[in-house]
Amino acid sequence: MSDTADRPSPESTDRNPRDMANAIRALAMDAVQKANSGHPGMPMGMADVATVLFQKFMRVDPQNPNWPDRDRFVLSAGHGSMLLYALHHLIGYADMDIDQLKAFRQMGSRTAGHPEYGHALGIETTTGPLGQGISTAVGMAIGERLMNARFGDDLVDHYTYVIAGDGCLMEGISHEAIDLAGNLNLSKLIVLWDDNGISIDGKVELATKMDQIARFKAAGWNTWSVDGHDADAIEAAIAEARKSDKPAFIACKTIIGYGAPNKAGTHKVHGEALGDDEIAATRKALVWESEPFELPEAVVKGWREVATKGAKARKAWEERLAASDKRDRFETAVNCTLPAAFAEEMQSYRQALAKDKPKVATRKSSEMALEVVNRLTELTIGGSADLTGSNNTKTKDMVSVTADDFSGRYIHYGVREHGMSAAMNGIALHGGAIPYGGTFLVFSDYARGAMRLSALMGIRVIYVLTHDSIGLGEDGPTHQPVEHLTMLRATPNMLVFRPADAVETAEIWEIALTETKRPSVLALTRQGLPTVREDVSENLSAKGGYVLKEAEGSRDVTIMASGSEVEIALKAAETLAGEGLKAAVVSMPSMELFAEQDAAYRAEVLGQAPRIAVEAAIGMSWDRWLGDNGRFIGMTGFGASAPAPKLYEHFGITPAAVVAAAKDLAAKA
């Protein structure tokens, strides 16, 4: 243990910086001990850094946790959740009373094993899956710059602070994030690295020799290295970092489990309770005499000054907002309010489509819908992971964001699907914008970690995933998704859409934009599709599945399909009609929304006749809708490299195959 660390710095005007940090240590070790589960090492190691950060710099107001111009704090090393909960208790978030700390990791408590967005006030994002926090924070810092460019320093001017550990920096997503941050020169992003030299397997040297300082410099960051137990050094570094003209990386050399005489500095203190003996010894070493979950009054008073300062800043900001001529526009942005005419305009657009009947790929009809959307609202922030022209995500008037100018609304995320997705999470969490971003559907594989967090947090992030089947053709099986629709449909709280034509695509954009509690995936074709919807009186996609074409008379078969295969289903139904078999065609743009309809509606759509489902993908997600005697026409394995029409023939996803299955079913009925 460093012998300078326990000493309050002489210049400090604070009563008890040592005890303030030790309060975090005590709460962390006692809560983990009581739960007999959790990670004490990181909160104890980073207590000094966190104390300096909050006491000297953080501008938050626990009474107004969602104040838009607050600083953001992201605990990227989310396993150290007790650091965050202790901080929130100490600075006085109303919902983080001592009983919550006592109920750490217990059913129904706000103090989950890892910080969960929405479980308690002031938790800016869910962390725990390593690397997500730092990458989401990049999105928050982008959000801040976007808002700042629109509303000026008076209304938007705050920092995004991150505490990240070795694990975060080893994860690939951190590379994508820091490269993006460097390119956009996010100078108000400050990352504090808990450089404790320990990971779960033991010393980090087992797995990495990375020179992190050199790495961040290579990505265009400014860097500092400090003793993470030296309050003055930490304060000086953060002060400089705040003035930095680039994103800032501060390596804080720390001792994991600082204060625990026998276990500090080892991986034993990382992920389990210290044990009664070591806790007693730690109390002694830290000269911390309070009982578990009790705090000296002076310490509490010291911590509450953070809230006092925050409240003052917030009040001053509110006065500036009240006086601002941008107030209305600002509030529209913060509340992500779509214009009153939004639904009506989207409806007129769909009426025009029904008349024009364009034959275009749904990636193109997505762009067409976005042309309408992006004219109606300035909330949407588009982007792509280096597939702009393929994803059709950039509408005509969109200007690209650059390091020097954030007034644009299109982001070149680079070949970084995971980093893009996490950044979109950050933009959505920051507020003031609705992010959408594109890549190929198959590369949702690369983005899964962040996409799952969009769903878990329940935030409005829109994934524009084009090239959604073997229909992409020659690029072959590496680029042809087959299992991805199932994978995404299996993900809780995620809306997965696969529109059949331009009308459904427009409907789906309206749903995705107005759905505030769930992310949406739009699976879109590369290849052209005819307009199949005639009746646009209602947003039928909102029901998830609907009868696109009813059989003439009582059904012999119901053919269900999504996306590009709806055309195949319609052709099959037509052929069948010619042969005297009555087929209904159900378009199923979203299984999730269909599952949410009442049983009577679902039964009416699905009908009593045998069912066939057609989708150029693995059939697993259709089993629920097929019934015991249903048939699936689709993929059973990986795709191949050839022109799309050849592939559909080769894999037997054709009207003829549907017709044959329908006849067979009818013969057996």
Site for a copy of itself in 440-469 (CB under 8 A): 442-443, 445-446, 448-449, 452-453, 455-456
Task: Output the CA torsion sign for 180, 182, 185, 191.
Answer: positive
Residue 196, annotated ligand binder? yes
User: Has 467 been labeled as part of a binding site?
Assistant: yes
Cα dist. 387→394, 437, 473, 498 in Å? 10, 10, 17, 19
Stretch that binds a copy of itself, among 50-58, 68-76, 102-110, 509-517 (CB under 8 A): 102-110
Binding segment for a copy of itself among 92-100, 167-175, 513-521, 554-562 (CB under 8 A)?
167-175
Q: Which of 144, 278, 417, 507 is catalytic?
A: 417
The response to whether 537 counts as a known ligand-binding position is no
**495 in a labelled binding site:** no
Q: Which of 376, 359, 407, 392 lies closest to 145, judged by CA?
A: 407
Number of residues that bind a copy of itself (CB under 8 A): 106
Q: Does 174 interact with a copy of itself (rule: CB under 8 A)? A: yes
Strands 160-164 and 72-75: parallel
**363 annotated among ligand-binding-site residues:** yes
Phi, psi of 643 (to 5 degrees): -60, 145
Structure tokens at 462: 């829109």
Residues in contact with a copy of itself, shown as a per-residue x/- string from 357 to 396 under the rule CB under 8 A: ---------------------------x-xxxxx------
Q: Does 118 bind a copy of itself (CB under 8 A)?
A: no
Q: Please tell me whether 526 is known to bind a ligand.
A: yes
110-141 CB burial, b ≥16 within 10 A, e <16: bbbbbbbbeebbbbbbbbbbbbbbbbbbbbbb
Distances (CA, A) of 438 to 366, 464, 467, 524: 11, 4, 11, 10
- Binding site annotation covers 89? no
- Give the separation between CA 371 and CA 502, rounded to whole angstroms: 13
* Residue reference for tokens 């961040």: 216
d(CA 624, CA 594): 12
Report in angstroms the alpha-carbon separations of 584 from 461, 554, 587. Answer: 34, 9, 10
- Identify residues 29-68 at the interface with a copy of itself (CB under 8 A): 35, 37-38
Considering only residues 595 through 654, tell me which ones interact with a copy of itself, judged by CB under 8 A. 618, 620-621, 623-624, 627-628, 635-638, 640-643, 646-647, 650
Report d(CA 559, CA 563) in Å as an integer.
Answer: 13
The DSSP H or E segment spanning 617 is strand 611-618
Active site residue 417: yes
The answer to whether 425 contacts a copy of itself (rule: CB under 8 A) is: no
- Least distance (Å) between residue 292 CB and a copy of itself: 19
Name which position in 474, 538, 579, 596 contacts a copy of itself (CB under 8 A). Answer: 474
- Cβ 419 to a copy of itself, closest distance in Å? 7
CB of 632 to a copy of itself, least distance (A): 10
What is the smallest separation between the CB atom of 621 and a copy of itself, expressed in angstroms?
6
Stretch that binds a copy of itself, among 55-63, 64-72, 103-111, 327-335 (CB under 8 A): 103-111
- Beta-strand relationship, 189-195 and 160-164: parallel
Q: How far is Cα of residue 308 from the mean position of the Cα atoms in its chain?
A: 32
**Which residues between 125 and 164 bind a copy of itself (CB under 8 A)?**
126-130
Regarding 483 and contact with a copy of itself (CB under 8 A), the answer is yes
Number of Cβ within 10 Å of residue 298's Cβ equals: 12
Among 179, 232, 278, 468, binds a copy of itself (CB under 8 A): 179
Cα–Cα distances in Å, from 60 out to 63, 119, 123? 9, 18, 12
Binding string, residues 492-511; x marks residues near a copy of itself by CB under 8 A: xx------------------
Is the Cβ of residue 13 or residue 478 nearer to a copy of itself in the bound state? 478
- Greatest pairwise CA separation for the chain in angstroms: 94
Question: Residue holding tokens 């942005």?
Answer: 333
Region of 12-20, 338-346, 408-416, 598-606 interacting with a copy of itself (CB under 8 A): 408-416
Residues β-bridged to residue 546? 587
Nearest Cα neighbor of 593 from 508, 506, 536 is 508
Q: Which stretch binds a copy of itself (CB under 8 A): 215-223, 258-266, 539-547, 604-612?
A: 215-223
Cβ 452 to a copy of itself shortest distance, Å: 6
Among 87, 238, 241, 487, binds a copy of itself (CB under 8 A): 487
Question: Which parts of 62-101 interact with a copy of itself (CB under 8 A)?
Answer: 78
Q: Which residue, 250 or 576, is less far from a copy of itself as judged by CB?
A: 250
The minimum distance between CB 627 and a copy of itself, in angstroms, equals 5
The C-alpha atoms of residue 101 and residue 226 are separated, in whole angstroms, by 31
- Does 166 appear as a known binding residue? yes
390 in a known ligand binding site: yes
Q: Which 320-359 positions form the footprint of a copy of itself (CB under 8 A)?
A: none
Q: Which amino acid would we find at residue 508?
A: I
CB 232 within 8 A of CB 204: no
How is residue 619 annotated by DSSP?
S
| Three-state secondary structure call for residue 574 | helix
Which residues between 192 and 211 bind a copy of itself (CB under 8 A)? 199-201, 205-211
Binding positions for Mg(2+) are 166, 196, 198
Write out the catalytic residue numbers.
417
